[in-house]
Amino acid sequence: MGNPIQNSSFGLDFHHVGVLVTDIVSSLEHFSVVFGKESISEIYEVSTQKVKVCFVKNGENSFLELVQPLGDDSVVSKLLKKRITYYHVAYKVIDIRHSIHQLEELNYKSLDVFNSEAFEGKLCAFLFTPDGHLIELIEK
């Protein structure tokens, strides 16, 4: 049957769950034991979001994205202070602008579009679902 999200007309291909951490390096000690050192990506600084990120492969096409704020002015600092750690689900898409337009027609609210160093400078976007959940789109 396959993944229904992956086979949808929106072309959303699951990539990762974003997890906030106070210190990526210390978190990686735990994840390298659980998933193996080979499952850990390099650490990237995403300057537009004021965060450091690292990916932990936890399935065939599945990752945890560890996200560390780079100061109190980072967008995610407030979430971490409130102890909100699992905060977004990310999908890869072929045409990010088209996907944003389709989702906005379903009352998703687009927040920002940016280039991410973690994805070789490709476009990414965050959107709120009509229920208030945060998703990220990553252009393939």
Residue-wise pLDDT tens for the chain (140 aa)? 444 444 457 899 999 999 999 999 999 999 999 999 999 999 999 999 999 999 999 999 999 999 999 999 998 999 999 999 999 999 999 999 999 999 999 999 999 899 999 999 999 999 999 999 999 999 99
Strands 86-93 and 109-116 turn out to be: unpaired
CA–CA distance, 47 with 100 (Å, rounded to integer): 22
Question: What residue numbers bound the domain in which 135 lies?
Answer: 13-139
Is residue 2 situated within a structural domain?
Answer: no
pTM of the entire predicted model: 0.89
DSSP state of 22: S
Is residue 94 situated within a structural domain?
Answer: yes
CA–CA distance, 104 with 115 (Å, rounded to integer): 20
Count of the separate structural domains present in the chain: 1
- 127: domain CATH number? 3.10.180.10
